[in-house]
Copies of this chain bind each other. A is one copy, B any other.
Amino acid sequence: MVDAVMRRAQDAFFEYKKITATNRSLFLENIAGAIEHIREDAVAIAHKETNLPLARLNGELTRTTSQLKLFANLLREGSWVEASIDTKDAASPAKPDLRKMLAPMGPVIVFGASNFPFAFSTAGGDTASALAAGCSVVVKGHSAHAQTSQLIFGAMKKASDVSGMPAYTVQHVMGSGSTVGRELVEHPYAKGVGFTGSFAGGRALVEYSQRREQPIPVFAEMSSINPVVFYPDTLSKNAAALAGVYAGSITLGVGQFCTNPGILFGIRGEGFEKFLDLLGEELSKVQPQKMLHSGICASYQKGVGNMLSQQGLKVLSRSAGVVVGEAEVGLDAAAVLAVVSGEEFLRNPQLTEEVFGPYSLAVVCADRAELLQALQGLKGQLTSTIMATESDRAEYGDVIEAQHNLAGRIILNMPPTGVEVNASMVHGGPYPATTDARFTSVGTTAIKRWVRPVCLQNFTDGMLPDALKNSNPLGIMRLVNNLYTREAIQ
């Protein structure tokens, strides 16, 4: 089955990559329209499959269609191909005319994510960016929202037909990651992989890809605990407000966001203590909510249980309802705030593991040196958040610098949850946050994951693609003899 799918994906790729950018734009907009058309059904089914609230799902669907339109606009503007031209130089006649642009790599495998049934799944950011790049796409739908995935795929297929795209430009398969998923990644025609999920899942895909005769890039977003440092002056001034904001951030979406703040650092003292008390109080008021599915909920309970069994770790607060360790687990998850000393934290690397859900660990450091050491020992992260006044920033420059080295996105005085989709976003970061810190999976530059530069040497103008022709018929920004310009070449 997989072989037939990949042969069709390969055939479709060779046709699809010839489609003009304008027509690819229309295709993406048609997908957005087709999804909008089935909004009510899609949201209802996703709600049934994932327990996510209707309002959140409606918002997520809007984000999904917005992403598609964003890439459509990127294609229309056109400069994203990084056209670069060095014309012949009269002074050095031996030097040839060289022109370079980005070109699509080939069929891309996209794995649906459990926590975003729309925005990171079937027609989500990976698919939208790969289609925008000119790659055919095979979606491996996520079993936790199989019906939603099938429904969204139906809309994409319809849009593909209406837009006159090659048959099989997008395909959809279901099955387990370790069988069907593996076969897809191992297939010689696959040229790239997008994945958002667990560390184990991402690692497995990387290993499949590395065992191929031709290894291919795997963009896996895997694991991040999103450290937040609360500096003393802001704690002394804003403790109550910060407690409210962070109680919301920790429990947003039942903690099922990649950017959930899983670790909160501060220096021992009245300020941090008071803040943690207030945060605990806020969290205790949060109503338990249903997680995505029983597997995730069981993992959460197990993860929290494991943390609470670690030496020196104490529970500071727990939201009402479910008690960890109860026989009947169900789907409801209580938010848990635990606390540990910096000394203990430095001793026990297990405390840096991600617990996916509304769990957060406060690390009380003895002093600035211990805080610095704790930060320097962290692995790569998606985000690193600085909660600090101007006076904090003046005093803690070295600690803030250490925060800069940790992540793809550095945030000042806002919680890490909340990911804008635009040209400046980086949703990525050093391993193990992702497998490739050089790219982002959110925002327009996500398209760069599915392309490679190709240089055309000594071509006649007629043989060049529009992006590289002398007349610049697309009117795009190009680097011509080292100058940025939209002008034609005379």
Contact = CB atoms under 8 A, between A and B. Distances in A.
Contact of A96 (B98, B214, B420, B454): B420
Contacts of A455: 408-410, 424-426
Nearest to A483: B77
Contacts of A423: 84, 86, 100, 479, 482
Nearest to A439: B453
Nearest to A484: B477
Q: How many copies does the complex hold?
A: 2
A438 interface: yes
Interface residues of A, number: 65
Interface in A153-190: none
Nearest to A411: B457
A189 to B, nearest CB: 12
A215 B435 contact: yes
A460 interface: yes
A200 B451 CA distance: 26
Interface in A453-467: 453-460, 463
A150 interface: no
10 contacts: A86-B422, A94-B418, A95-B420, A98-B422, A214-B379, A217-B436, A410-B456, A412-B460, A425-B455, A440-B453
Interface of A: 73, 77, 79, 84-86, 94-96, 98-100, 105, 206, 210, 214-215, 217, 379-380, 390, 393, 404, 407-414, 418, 420, 422-426, 428, 430-432, 435-440, 445, 448, 451-460, 463, 477, 479, 482, 484
**Which 6 A-B residue pairings sit nearest by Cβ, starting from the closest?**
A426-B455, A98-B424, A437-B452, A411-B457, A409-B455, A100-B424
